[in-house]
Amino acid sequence: MKDQLRGCVKISAKGNDLYRFINMIHSGRVCCFGQFCRKEVFYGEVYRRDLPKIEAMADECGVELSSAEMRTLSSILRKYRRRVGLLLGAFLAVFTVAYFSSVVVTIEVQGNSAVSEDKIIAALDELGIRKGANIRDIDLNYCSNELRVRVPGISWAGIRHTGNRIVVEVTEVVPPPEKPEKRVACNIVSTKRAKITTFKVLDGFLMHKIGDYVTEGSLLVSGISTSDNTGKIVLHHAIASVTGIYDETAVFSGSFEPVRTVYTGRKLNRKSVKLFGIRIPLYLRKNKFRSSETDRSFEPLVLFGRELPVGVVREEIRETELAGVSYTPEELEAELNRKIFFYEKNFISEDTKIISRNIERTETADGITLTVKYTLEGEIGREKPLLVK
């Protein structure tokens, strides 16, 4: 190892006073090893620091001297001594590998389904297990027991680490099977003013027939029956599907000059460094917009194919303001028709059939109102519990 640090040079010498040169090396206290002579040529190896002394002896004896530096750690460092960036990069790489091998970089939770991962991560943070924490300072056995106590729904927890990765394995509490609820006696009543078109009764007694008109709250299927033999009243949990045709009205209004949020075109781009949850701003300019929207993205640093909790956060801040946008009657009516489309997709059940749609248009100086009158066919019954003392 010392030879690697000192640096070694191979030498070869030839000439008339070769043996005088060899004697001067031996008497001059120069460390020369690996010496041998072949065909009137002297070969040997000396340390780099002794090479000037060897060259002076060769000049004094009139000997022709050749030298070549051997490949050692010292020679490699001397070769790249002026390449500061390369040396600095190598140093940073060694430092990064050494640092990230001793701190928590990633936390993985396995085995959870009912218990959210966020709750487990929050409990681990309270126990000192977080990104950037020193792994040597973490008592994994203690944290495993504490995690089971602190997070409801976990019956067993095990924590281990592989390199800079913390793996948390949990087993959740198995809840007891739910007891079947006792069905409450109930009737089926109408929720609409409608004309009955179809029915399917699984339990209970139908009180109307197809084609009957019923009002809202009318009894459709009864859950009460009387025994023919004893006259005893028997209560049932009525189960039935009753469909009918009914009318429904929806109103959609819009203004020719609504107040909306628009972009002014001014924006501000900022960067910051995120280091284990801590953000270090790389900017001085403050956000002076009175109203704005921000788009934020994170670009993590990747080392050996793994994303590290270190990276650059980019923000694009766009200024907004409230402004009136003028609509023509045709544009406003098209916007209201889009609202009607979304209403039918989101608020009218897929099982409900639209038989007819009649749209009445009313226009004023301020805007337009569309009144939509629907004729629908769908489920009209709902359960209503029987109150029995």
Q: How does residue 73 score in pLDDT terms, banded at 50, 70 and 90?
A: low
Cβ(357)–Cβ(340) under 8 Å? Answer: no
User: Residue 297's beta-bridge partner residues?
Assistant: 314
Are the beta carbons of 18 and 63 closer than 8 angstroms? yes
Torsion, Cα of 117, 121, 123, 127 (10° steps): 150
Task: Supply φ then ψ for residue 99, to 5 degrees.
Answer: -70, -50
Domains of the chain listed by start with CATH number: 2-77 (3.30.70.260), 106-172 (3.10.20.310), 186-244 (no CATH), 252-257+326-378 (no CATH), 263-324 (no CATH)
Q: Whole-model pTM?
A: 0.44
* Among 134, 131, 136, CA closest to 103: 134
The model's confidence at residue 30, banded by pLDDT at 50, 70 and 90, is: confident
Q: Please state, for a pLDDT cut of 70, what percent of the chain lies above it.
A: 87
User: Which spans in the chain are helix H?
Assistant: 2-6, 18-27, 51-61, 73-79, 84-100, 117-126, 140-150, 329-347
What does the pLDDT average to over 130-158?
88
Q: What is the pLDDT of residues 199-215, one digit of tens each?
A: 999 988 899 999 999 99
Q: Which of 71-75, 150-154, 251-255, 332-336 has the lowest mean pLDDT?
A: 71-75
